[in-house]
């Protein structure tokens, strides 16, 4: 349905026709329906679940599941349906994704916050979730009510499905001046949404997930610059993961014809800024419009990413919000010393980290690039007499961050590579094949010749050609691969 509204040139907007639409600018009573609320605040990670017309990631594909199983990346257990367990090697990838994004976001001026997982019911009433999204939330109650006040407002909590209300509380706690805007908060909290049990699948249809969530509180004039920075970050991020510019498309969703809040002037100004920014970043004519498909509280930009198999996935989203700051009565002191309401921008680059993870499994087909790989190299001593030498090289190759002096603290910065040793009593052929199966990027062999020359024989996952190198040269190569995101 959404895609039907697209025209080939992507520019089907008619501002004049929109001006004819009768406006009901401040009346949100009949428009703030549950459906719209879900479609807007919650749609960015739910398109796989709810909208059958949206392209979706088939994480149940045999290849995705078999790679995850073979490499022991994550598991699902009936004791907590829809909440993935990341296994040690999956956790390495997950943490690397977060580390990568934290650094990039900091460059854009984001500061990370840690906010509560449960909030009292009245907060969710204020944000509109209790009225419109209750069935999709988990209610939290104490078993021992004597520890709590007895009225319902103080005994019933909701497990958060998103971070925005919590970030509004942080913004509101301090007096804000226009000089400090934009204020940008990022948050890596786990979020919970009560998806139907029948729909739960792998990493894409889940109840518990994480977002690279960020909220920007800014003035109307700052919208363009903030969106532009976000689009640049999206490009930088996707290029780093090997997606070319033509692997993703940007789509502007504009004001719904009837059901929206806020005044027309704000909407037009905001949409004009988004168009300008899209022209600047994607190039004129290189982005599409979903006419009338914006959230009821503001226009948005969605990014669709095409994977190696031609499947499209909705990942990043940038949503303007005129509504939530009003609900929370957020204010800042403007240049004229009066109090103004900031605009809120919700944005995520990965979207759901779990879903992006699943997408990457497909995208790389299990062949993780070295920098992201949970198994970067394995050392195979040919027989037991080579184990001691191999262990010595292992500690060198792991990098300086992991030092083996147990009574000294490890460095906070530096390199830390995931290198294993396989000294099982199996043939070299068997262990090499096993290493390739598990996805090690490099296989390092140690025999008599290597011990004698104090060198290592190394081959990559995809190339049988063996090179003889000193361990210092290999370490240098590993550092260079990580530095260049290869």
CA distance 22 to 24: 7
Q: Which two tokens stand for residue 451?
A: 């011990």
The stretch near Zn ion (CB under 5 A) out of 95-103, 242-250, 340-348, 435-443 is 340-348
Closer residue to Zn ion, CB minimum distance, 346 or 363: 346
Indicate if 211 belongs to the active site.
yes
Torsion of CA 70, 73, 78, 81, to 10 degrees: -130
- According to the binding rule CB under 5 A, does residue 210 interact with Zn ion? no
Total number of residues that touch Zn ion (CB under 5 A): 2
Burial class (CB in 10 A: 0-12, 13-18, 19+), 358: buried
Indicate if 210 belongs to the active site.
no
The stretch near Zn ion (CB under 5 A) out of 7-15, 130-138, 156-164, 285-293 is 156-164
Closer residue to Zn ion, CB minimum distance, 164 or 274: 164
Annotated catalytic residue within 275, 346, 393, 461: 346
Closest distance of CB 149 from Zn ion, Å: 29
Which backbone phi and psi does 32 adopt, to 5 degrees? -85, 55
CA distance 308 to 129: 37
CB contact set of 127 (below 8 Å; sequence gap of 6+): 164, 165, 168, 324, 327, 328
- According to the binding rule CB under 5 A, does residue 398 interact with Zn ion? no
Indicate if 192 belongs to the active site.
no
Among 235, 346, 386, 438, binds Zn ion (CB under 5 A): 346
User: Hey, which residues between 411 and 470 contact Zn ion (CB under 5 A)?
Assistant: none
Indicate if 293 belongs to the active site.
no
Indicate if 213 belongs to the active site.
yes
Q: Are 220 and 272 in contact (CB under 8 A)?
A: no
Q: Are 464 and 457 in contact (CB under 8 A)?
A: no
> How crowded is residue 441: how many other Cβ atoms within 10 Å of its Cβ?
24
CA distance 455 to 447: 10
Q: Among 189, 192, 188, 197, which Cα is nearest to 208's?
A: 192
- According to the binding rule CB under 5 A, does residue 316 interact with Zn ion? no
The stretch near Zn ion (CB under 5 A) out of 159-167, 253-261, 327-335, 418-426 is 159-167
- According to the binding rule CB under 5 A, does residue 164 interact with Zn ion? yes
Length of the chain: 486
* Rg for the chain, CA atoms, rounded: 26
Closest distance of CB 191 from Zn ion, Å: 10
Annotated catalytic residue within 215, 275, 418, 431: 215
Annotated catalytic residue within 46, 229, 300, 455: 300
Closest distance of CB 28 from Zn ion, Å: 18
> How crowded is residue 178: how many other Cβ atoms within 10 Å of its Cβ?
17
> 3-class SS at 473?
helix
H-helix or E-strand spanning residue 441: none
Closest distance of CB 442 from Zn ion, Å: 41
Annotated catalytic residue within 213, 307, 321, 422: 213
Annotated catalytic residue within 44, 71, 164, 375: 164
Closer residue to Zn ion, CB minimum distance, 254 or 317: 317
Indicate if 479 belongs to the active site.
no
Indicate if 215 belongs to the active site.
yes
* Contact residues: Zn ion, CB under 5 A: 164, 346
Q: Which amino acids are annotated catalytic? A: 164, 193, 211, 213, 215, 300, 346
């Amino acid at each position: 349905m959404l895609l039907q509204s697209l025209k080939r040139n992507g520019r089907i907007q008619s501002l004049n026709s929109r001006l004819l639409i009768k406006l009901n600018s401040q009346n949100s009573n009949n428009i703030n329906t549950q459906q719209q609320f879900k479609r807007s605040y919650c749609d960015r990670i739910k398109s796989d679940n709810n909208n059958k017309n949206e392209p979706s990631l088939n994480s149940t594909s045999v290849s995705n599941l078999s790679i995850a199983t073979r490499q022991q990346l994550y598991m699902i257990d009936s004791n907590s349906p829809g909440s993935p367990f990341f296994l040690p090697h999956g956790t390495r990838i997950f943490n690397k994704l977060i580390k990568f994004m934290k650094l990039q976001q900091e460059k854009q001026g984001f500061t990370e916050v840690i906010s509560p997982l449960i909030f009292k019911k009245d907060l969710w009433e204020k944000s509109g979730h209790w009225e419109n999204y209750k069935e999709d939330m988990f209610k939290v109650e104490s078993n021992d009510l004597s520890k709590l006040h007895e009225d319902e407002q103080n005994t019933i909590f909701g497990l958060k499905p998103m971070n925005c209300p919590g970030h509004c509380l942080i913004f509101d706690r301090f007096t804000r001046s226009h000089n400090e805007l934009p204020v940008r908060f990022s948050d890596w909290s786990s979020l919970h949404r009560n998806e139907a049990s029948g729909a739960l699948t792998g990493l894409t249809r889940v109840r518990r997930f994480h977002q690279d969530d960020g909220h920007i509180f800014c003035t109307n004039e700052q919208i363009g610059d903030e969106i532009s920075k976000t689009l640049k970050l999206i490009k930088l991020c996707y290029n780093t993961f090997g997606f070319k510019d033509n692997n993703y498309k940007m789509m502007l969703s504009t004001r719904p014809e009837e059901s929206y809040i806020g005044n027309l002037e704000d909407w037009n100004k905001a949409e004009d800024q988004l168009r300008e920014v899209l022209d600047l970043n994607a190039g004129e004519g290189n982005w599409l419009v979903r006419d009338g498909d914006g959230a009821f509280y503001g226009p948005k930009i969605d990014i669709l990413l095409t994977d190696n198999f031609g499947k499209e996935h909705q990942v990043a989203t940038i949503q303007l919000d005129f509504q939530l700051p009003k609900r929370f009565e957020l204010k800042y002191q403007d240049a004229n010393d009066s109090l103004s309401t900031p605009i809120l921008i919700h944005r995520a680059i990965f979207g759901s980290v779990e879903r992006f993870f699943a997408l990457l499994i497909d995208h790389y087909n299990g062949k993780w690039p070295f920098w992201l790989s949970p198994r970067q190299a394995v050392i195979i001593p040919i027989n037991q007499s080579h184990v001691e030498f191999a262990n010595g090289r292992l500690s060198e190759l792991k990098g300086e961050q992991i030092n083996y002096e147990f009574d000294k603290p490890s460095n906070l910065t530096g390199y830390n590579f995931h290198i294993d040793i396989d000294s099982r009593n199996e043939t070299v052929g068997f262990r090499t094949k096993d290493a390739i199966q598990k996805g090690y990027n490099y296989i390092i062999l140690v025999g008599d010749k290597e011990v004698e020359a104090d060198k290592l024989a190394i081959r990559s996952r995809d190339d049988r050609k063996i090179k003889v190198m000193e361990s210092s040269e290999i370490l240098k190569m590993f550092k260079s691969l990580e530095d260049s995101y290869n």
